[in-house]
Amino acid sequence: MCALKIVSFSTDRLTEAGRLLALYQKRANAAIPVLPSQGETEEKAIRALTGEWEKTGVSGVAALDDDKLVGYVIGQKQENAMRGRHVWISLAGQAIASEQPVELYRDLYAAAAQEWVDEGYFYHCALLPAGNPELLQTWFCLGFGHEQVHGLLSLKEIQPRASSMRVDGVELRLATPDDREAIADVSSLIRTYQANSPVFGVALPEDAQKIRDGYSGLVDDPQVDLWIAKKGEEIISFQAYFPADSDPFTMTPEHCIELGIAATRPEYRGSGINFALTTRGLAHAKEKGYHYCMTDWRMTNLQSSRFWPRQGFVPVGYRLSRLIDHRIAWAKG
C-alpha cells in the first residue's frame, strides 16, 4: 500500500471511478442473496457517481497505483438543524479495486476526513453494503458505529390469505380522508419513542407541527398505502408504504415498495397488532404487483431491530456514523 498515491478526487476521474464502482457493486450485491441480479453496468455506475459528484459541497480523494485509479472516497458536506455540519458518504461514494485490501479504506478516509474536519464538519456518515463483514470491520476500526439498518424482503413467499388476516376487536384497513385527524394525533409516536433509551434520537420541538401536517397529508396521496389498526375511534397502530425507485446503487430492486413509517401505541406493543398490520400491508403490496419491500430502522431501536428481521427483512445496507470531538478545532496538541 505504500506504493499508492492518494490525491484529491477530480472530475476527470469520474469515468475510471464509475467502472470501479460497477465492479465493486456487483461484488457487494452478489454477497446478499435476497438481492436480484441488477445489472450494475458501467454506464449506470458512471451516471450514479457523476450525480453524486455534481451535488453541492462534495469532495474526496482517490488512490492511484501508477496513475491507475484503484479506490476512492467522496462525501457531501451538508448543514441542517438536526445534524449540524456533517458529511454523507453514499453507497456510490466509495469503492476499491478487488485486488486491494479493505485496509485501503482507512487511508482514503483519513485523507478525505482531514479536509472535512478542518472545515468544521465533525459528524460523518457512511452507507455501506451489508454483505461484507470485513468491510464493516474496517470502518468500525475508523471509529464508526452502527446507526441505521436498511432491510429488504422478497414478497415471493407472502400467501394470498394473508390479506384477510383479522384481529378481534380491531379494524385493519387502508386509511381514508376521514381518518385525517386521527392520523395527526399519532404523528408523535415515532419521535417520542426514538427519543428514549437506548436510541436517544433527537426530535426538535419546532418540527412537531410539520410532522403532524405531513402525516395527516398522507391520506391525500394516491401513491401512498396508509394502513391503520383502529380500536373504536382511536388508531392504535399504522404503517405507510411508498413506491421506491429502482436503483442498484441504493440496493433497491425493481418492483419495490418502501415501508417508510410504522408505529404502535405503547400499550399495544407486543400484542400482535403490528404483526397483523404488517401481514396485511405486505400481502396488499404483492397484490399490487410489487416483488420486494424495503424498510429501515435504527440499530439501537430494540423493538425494531428484533421485529423486522423476524418478519423476514434481510439487511442489505448499513448507515454507520462517527461524531468527532469538535474541540479538535482548537485543541490539536
Residue 276 and residue 198 share a domain: yes
pLDDT exceeds 50 at position 1? no
**pLDDT score of 161:** 67
Calculate what percentage of the chain has a pLDDT beyond 70.
97
pLDDT exceeds 90 at position 175? yes
Number of domains in the chain: 2
Contact 298, 194 (CB under 8 A): yes
Residue 286 and residue 194 share a domain: yes
Residue 210 and residue 87 share a domain: no
Write the CB contacts of 164 (distance below 8 Å, at least 6 apart in sequence). none
Please compute the mean of the pLDDT values over residues 11-32 and round it to a whole number.
Answer: 94
In 134-265, DSSP assigns E strands to 145-154, 171-174, 225-231, 234-244, 256-264
pLDDT exceeds 50 at position 196? yes
Q: What are the pLDDT digits (tens) for 247-282? A: 888 889 999 999 999 999 999 998 899 999 999 999
**pLDDT score of 163:** 66
| CA 27 centroid distance within chain | 19
Name the amino acid, one letter, at 93.
G
Residue 203 and residue 77 share a domain: no
Residue 165 and residue 119 share a domain: no
Q: Does residue 325 sit within a domain?
A: no
**pLDDT score of 160:** 73
Q: What are the pLDDT digits (tens) for 82-123? A: 899 999 999 999 999 999 999 999 999 999 999 999 999 999
The mean pLDDT of the chain is 93
Nearest residue to 111 (alpha-carbon basis) of 71, 78, 146:
71
| pTM of the full structure | 0.93
Q: Identify the CATH number of the domain in which residue 250 sits.
A: 3.40.630.30
Cell reading at 28: 457487494
pLDDT exceeds 60 at position 207? yes
Contact 110, 139 (CB under 8 A): no
Q: Does residue 330 sit within a domain?
A: no
CA distances to 59, 160, 171, 254 from 187, rounded to whole Å, are: 37, 31, 19, 30
152 strand-pairing partners:
294, 314
Q: Does residue 54 sit within a domain?
A: yes
Q: What is the DSSP letter of 295?
A: E
**pLDDT score of 79:** 96
**pLDDT score of 219:** 94
Nearest residue to 183 (alpha-carbon basis) of 248, 117, 253, 233:
233
Q: Does residue 282 sit within a domain?
A: yes
**pLDDT score of 205:** 85
Q: Which domain holds residue 123?
A: 5-143
Please compute the mean of the pLDDT values over residues 161-179 and round it to a whole number.
Answer: 86
Pairwise CA distance, residues 26 & 15, whole Å = 17
Q: What are the pLDDT digits (tens) for 49-64? A: 999 999 999 999 999 9
Residue 52 and residue 9 share a domain: yes
Q: Does residue 171 sit within a domain?
A: yes
CA distances to 179, 238, 274 from 171, rounded to whole Å, are: 13, 11, 12
Q: What are the pLDDT digits (tens) for 285-333? A: 999 999 999 999 999 999 999 999 999 999 999 999 999 999 999 988 6
Burial class (CB in 10 A: 0-12, 13-18, 19+), 124: buried
Cis (ω within 30 of 0) for the bond into 253?
no
Nearest residue to 75 (alpha-carbon basis) of 112, 110, 108:
112
Residue 241 and residue 131 share a domain: no
Alpha-carbon torsion 248, 251, 255, 261, what sign?
negative
3-state secondary structure of 13: helix
Q: Does residue 323 sit within a domain?
A: no
**pLDDT score of 119:** 96
Nearest residue to 240 (alpha-carbon basis) of 156, 175, 172, 152:
175
Residue 249 and residue 209 share a domain: yes
Match 480523494 to its residue by C-alpha cell.
61
**pLDDT score of 166:** 77
Q: How confident is the model at residue 162 (pLDDT cuts 50, 70, 90)?
A: low
Residue 179 and residue 127 share a domain: no
Please compute the mean of the pLDDT values over residues 16-23 and round it to a whole number.
Answer: 96
**pLDDT score of 157:** 87
Residue 261 and residue 180 share a domain: yes
Please compute the mean of the pLDDT values over residues 188-198 and round it to a whole number.
Answer: 92
